[in-house]
């Protein structure tokens, strides 16, 4: 039998009752019914390197009949390897180029109340097996990366007890940050890792970290909701709805068939035409820096007044709340950069069929959205134009940013980089029996510039505005200042009447934008004026200069006429 083991087999063998055992700096306490980890905060990084490790991947040999031979034994439950989709392959290459920056997202759901932890673990494993991508392994077949479902990874992970820490929640969040920012080996580490962090007797955090090559954010939330549905059905003594998630091979085939279809060609033509005259992306920060695993963060809850104004504005303008928020940020970005046209990137699910929407896999794309502001624009004209552009983007959302960069010329050098705005203006309600979980985003992946998440969570729903920025481009105070400014601007924009001229919305930012625009115009003038001058200006030296006597440091004295002295005294008395 082939054996794919977790570290030291500690979490795979039947549970035993033993005393505390050191596990990579953490202490594993054995109970008959579950693995329980208690913390030593100095060992966070060590634990992340240990629990998520998987044995070195076996090397399969593919027979002509499709069978597999492994450098080990197999129990027959491992699925046949499937090639990576185009999006997954891009992520594979990107991770190879930046091995120290894990392309992962992380979140947790907070529950307050009584939870049957054993039942939760059981249902999490069941959901992972249903979706297959939850227990994904990457292997190489003839030098090419492939994916397969490995049921030997069927573990929710440990229960981590933080109740002994001075601040259990802060300690839990610190552990999570260590876990999702640690470098990850795609062929040896778990691509999806989960754990239950206990921060109180009746207070738990269900943590999940997902590498984007296994699941995108949409699929991750689908699986979390499936876990909750299975748990709730078991608690209520009824059968859960049957699972209808597609197999890995079906997901690969969906991507392959799209890329060979007429729709792919039509999407390509749309984006080439749409972005032909668009300038490179805009940013609130100068320069460029490579993405980082960690981010500078500014996050807070929007007031109910502002949320109500966004809802009301969307209703009056017959647009979505997302269009109102994106239009407001586009206007804010234009003012802060002194531009008439800016570029905002919008995440799209890429799931255009019912089968894809109920399955795992990787389909989410980022679409560039140019936003142009004219001198005659009102709040209504801008929001409705953004709404129309969003509809066009949705129709062509399967064509991702990597494809767009390749299709728009210059060898893919046009990056279309800029802030990403992700608006989820609907409640993220996760029901675990009678408990309602509160969803929290920790990371949506490495941030190139700025990522803005606006989402609703909890019961009653709270609206969270979350800024995450590249720490090599933004300092904490700089990001906090932009956060505060934008919240004020968003409130003013949403409160404005539809016919309000954009120049009358939030006068402070109008004045700031005018100064930035003036600086840009002056800079552009001098760049154009001096463009043809040589880098070094050589002056003629056709003859030696004569020696001139220097009087530096010399002094002299002069006598003033009596009349002038009197006039000076009179002037001094008057002034």
Least confident of 268-277, 445-454, 462-471, 561-570: 561-570
Report pLDDT for 66.
45
* Same structural domain, 184 and 236: yes
Q: Is the model more confident about 47 or about 405?
A: 405
Is the residue at 266 inside a domain? Answer: no
The backbone region for 412, taken as left when phi is positive above 0, alpha when psi lies in -120 to 50, beta otherwise, is left
Pairing of strands 296-301, 420-428: unpaired
Among 129, 112, 28, 159, CA closest to 434:
112
What residues does 107 pair with on adjacent strands? 208, 441
Cβ contact 21:28 at 8 Å = yes
pLDDT above 90 as % of the chain: 63
- Number of neighbours of residue 266 by Cβ within 10 angstroms: 12
* Same structural domain, 344 and 390: yes
Q: Is the pLDDT of residue 220 over 70?
A: yes
* Same structural domain, 205 and 305: no
What residues does 57 pair with on adjacent strands? none
147-192 pLDDT per residue, tens:
999 988 877 778 899 999 999 999 999 999 999 999 999 998 999 9
* Domain-ending residue, one of 250, 271, 294: 250
* Same structural domain, 215 and 111: yes
* Same structural domain, 239 and 323: no
Is the residue at 493 inside a domain? Answer: yes
Distance CA 293, CA 105 (A): 10
Cβ contact 404:271 at 8 Å = yes
Is the residue at 547 inside a domain? Answer: no
Residues 145, 149, 152, 157, Cα dihedral to 10°: 90
Is the residue at 481 inside a domain? Answer: yes
* Same structural domain, 199 and 296: no
Q: What is the pLDDT of the chain when averaged over all its residues?
A: 83
* Same structural domain, 430 and 494: yes
Both tokens of 275, joined, read 């972005």
Average pLDDT estimate for 237-261: 94
Residues 168, 171, 176, 178, Cα dihedral to 10°: -170
Report pLDDT for 295.
92
* Same structural domain, 124 and 230: yes
Order of all β-strands in the sheet with 144-149:
82-83, 144-149, 136-141
Distance CA 525, CA 531 (A): 10
Q: Which residues form the domain of 136?
A: 7-250
310-350 pLDDT per residue, tens:
999 999 999 999 999 999 999 999 999 999 999 999 999 99
What residues does 430 pair with on adjacent strands? 437
Q: Is the pLDDT of residue 491 over 50?
A: yes
* CATH (domain of 99): 3.30.559.10
Among 209, 186, 189, 185, CA closest to 197:
209
* Same structural domain, 238 and 372: no
* CATH (domain of 290): 3.30.559.30
DSSP structural state of residue 53: B
Average pLDDT estimate for 457-470: 92
Task: Give how far the C-alpha of residue 317 lies from the chain's centroid of Cα atoms, to the nearest Å.
Answer: 29
* Same structural domain, 314 and 207: no
Among 402, 54, 349, 53, CA closest to 215:
349
Is the residue at 564 inside a domain? Answer: no
Report pLDDT for 211.
96
Q: 220-238 burial by CB neighbour count: b if 16+ within 10 A, else e? A: bbbbbebbbbbbbebbeee
Both tokens of 216, joined, read 């995108």
Among 138, 1, 134, CA closest to 57:
138
- Most confident segment among 38-47, 75-84, 201-210, 426-435: 201-210
Q: Is the pLDDT of residue 45 over 50?
A: no
Cβ contact 284:418 at 8 Å = no
Is the residue at 543 inside a domain? Answer: no
Mention every residue, 6+ apart, whose C-beta is less than 8 A from residue 176. Answer: 106, 108, 197, 205, 207, 209, 442
DSSP structural state of residue 152: G
Distances in Å between the Cα of 255 and the Cα atoms of 65, 79, 87, 264 are 24, 19, 9, 10
What residues does 292 pair with on adjacent strands? 447
SS3 15: coil
Is the residue at 537 inside a domain? Answer: no
Q: Is the pLDDT of residue 1 over 80?
A: no
Q: How many domains, in total, are found in the chain? A: 2
Average pLDDT estimate for 201-230: 94
pTM of this structure = 0.81
Q: Is the pLDDT of residue 15 over 50?
A: no
Both tokens of 522, joined, read 């002056």
- Most confident segment among 46-50, 404-408, 481-485: 481-485
Q: Is the pLDDT of residue 217 over 50?
A: yes
* Domain-ending residue, one of 208, 232, 250: 250
* Same structural domain, 226 and 326: no
Both tokens of 33, joined, read 């019914």
Residues 163, 167, 173, 175, Cα dihedral to 10°: -60
Least confident of 26-40, 78-92, 491-505: 26-40
Cβ contact 182:116 at 8 Å = no
Q: Exposed, middle or buried: residue 80 (CB in 10 Å: 0-12, 13-18, 19+)?
A: middle
Task: Give how far the C-alpha of residue 159 lies from the chain's centroid of Cα atoms, to the nearest Å.
Answer: 27
Cβ contact 314:325 at 8 Å = no
DSSP per residue, 186-255: TTTB-SEEEEEEEEETTEEEEEEEEETTTB-HHHHHHHHHHHHHHHHHHHTTSPPPPP-PPPHHHHHHHH
Cβ contact 326:346 at 8 Å = yes
Q: How confident is the model at residue 480 (pLDDT cuts 50, 70, 90)?
A: very high
434-444 pLDDT per residue, tens:
999 999 999 99
* Domain-ending residue, one of 198, 231, 250: 250
Is the residue at 560 inside a domain? Answer: no
Distance CA 296, CA 479 (A): 8
Q: Is the pLDDT of residue 26 over 50?
A: no
* Same structural domain, 388 and 460: yes
Distance CA 219, CA 131 (A): 9
E strand residue ranges, 150-239 = 159-161, 192-200, 203-211
Q: Is the pLDDT of residue 456 over 60?
A: yes
Task: Give how far the C-alpha of residue 490 lies from the chain's centroid of Cα atoms, to the nearest Å.
Answer: 21
Q: Which segments of 396-424 does DSSP mark as H helices, in order? A: 401-407
Q: Exposed, middle or buried: residue 89 (CB in 10 Å: 0-12, 13-18, 19+)?
A: middle
Among 158, 207, 139, 172, CA closest to 28:
158
Both tokens of 320, joined, read 């979505």
Residues 389, 393, 394, 395, Cα dihedral to 10°: 100
Dmax (CA) of the chain: 119
């Amino acid at each position: 039998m082939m054996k794919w083991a977790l570290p030291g087999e500690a979490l795979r063998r039947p549970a035993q009752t033993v005393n505390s055992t050191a596990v990579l700096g953490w202490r594993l306490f054995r109970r008959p019914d579950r693995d329980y980890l208690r913390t030593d905060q100095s060992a966070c990084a060590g634990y992340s390197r240990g629990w998520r490790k998987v044995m070195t991947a076996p090397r399969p040999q593919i027979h002509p009949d499709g069978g597999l031979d492994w450098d080990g034994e197999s129990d027959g439950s491992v699925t046949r390897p499937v090639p990576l989709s185009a999006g997954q392959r891009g992520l594979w290459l990107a991770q190879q180029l930046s091995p120290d920056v894990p392309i992962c997202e992380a979140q947790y759901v907070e529950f307050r109340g009584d939870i049957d932890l054993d039942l939760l673990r059981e249902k999490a494993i069941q959901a992972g097996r249903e979706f297959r991508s939850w227990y994904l392994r990457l292997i190489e077949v003839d030098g090419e990366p492939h994916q397969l479902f490995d049921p030997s990874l069927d573990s929710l992970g440990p229960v981590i007890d933080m109740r002994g820490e001075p601040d259990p929640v802060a300690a839990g969040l610190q552990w999570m940050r260590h876990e999702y920012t640690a470098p990850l080996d795609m062929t040896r580490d778990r691509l999806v890792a989960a754990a239950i962090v206990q921060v109180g007797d009746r207070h738990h955090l269900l943590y999940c970290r997902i590498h984007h090559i296994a699941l995108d954010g949409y699929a991750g939330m689908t699986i979390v909701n499936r876990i909750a549905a299975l748990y709730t059905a078991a608690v209520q003594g009824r059968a859960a709805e049957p699972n209808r998630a597609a197999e890995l091979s079906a997901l690969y085939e969906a991507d392959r068939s799209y890329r060979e279809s007429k729709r792919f060609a039509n999407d390509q033509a749309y984006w080439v035409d749409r972005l032909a005259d668009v300038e490179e992306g805009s940013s609130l920060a100068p320069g460029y820096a490579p993405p980082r695993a960690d981010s500078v963060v500014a996050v807070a809850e929007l007031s109910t007044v502002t949320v109500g104004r966004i809802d009301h504005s969307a209703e009056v303008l017959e647009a979505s709340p997302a269009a109102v928020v994106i239009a407001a940020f586009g206007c804010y970005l234009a003012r802060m950069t002194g531009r008439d046209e800016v570029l905002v990137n919008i995440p799209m699910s890429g799931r255009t069929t019912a089968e894809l929407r109920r399955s795992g896999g990787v389909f989410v794309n980022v679409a560039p959205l140019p936003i142009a502001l004219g001198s005659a624009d009102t709040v209504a004209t801008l929001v409705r134009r953004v709404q129309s552009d969003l509809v066009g983007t949705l129709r062509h959302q399967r064509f991702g940013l990597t494809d767009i960069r390749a299709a728009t010329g210059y060898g893919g050098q046009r990056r279309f980089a800029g802030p990403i705005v992700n608006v989820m203006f609907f409640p993220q309600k996760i029901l675990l029996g009678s408990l309602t979980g509160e969803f929290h985003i920790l990371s949506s992946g490495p941030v190139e510039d700025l990522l803005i998440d606006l989402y609703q969570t909890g019961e009653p729903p709270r609206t969270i505005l979350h800024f995450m920025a590249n720490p090599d481009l933004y300092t904490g105070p700089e990001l906090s200042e932009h956060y505060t400014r934008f919240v004020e601007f968003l409130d003013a924009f949403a409160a404005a009447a539809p016919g309000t001229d954009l120049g009358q919305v939030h006068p402070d930012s109008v004045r700031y934008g005018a100064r930035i625009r003036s600086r840009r115009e002056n800079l552009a003038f001098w760049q154009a004026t001096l463009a043809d001058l040589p880098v070094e200006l050589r002056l003629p030296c056709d003859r030696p200069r004569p020696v001139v006597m220097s009087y530096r440091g010399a002094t002299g004295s002069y006598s003033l006429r009596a009349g002038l002295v009197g006039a000076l005294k009179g002037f001094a008395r008057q002034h």
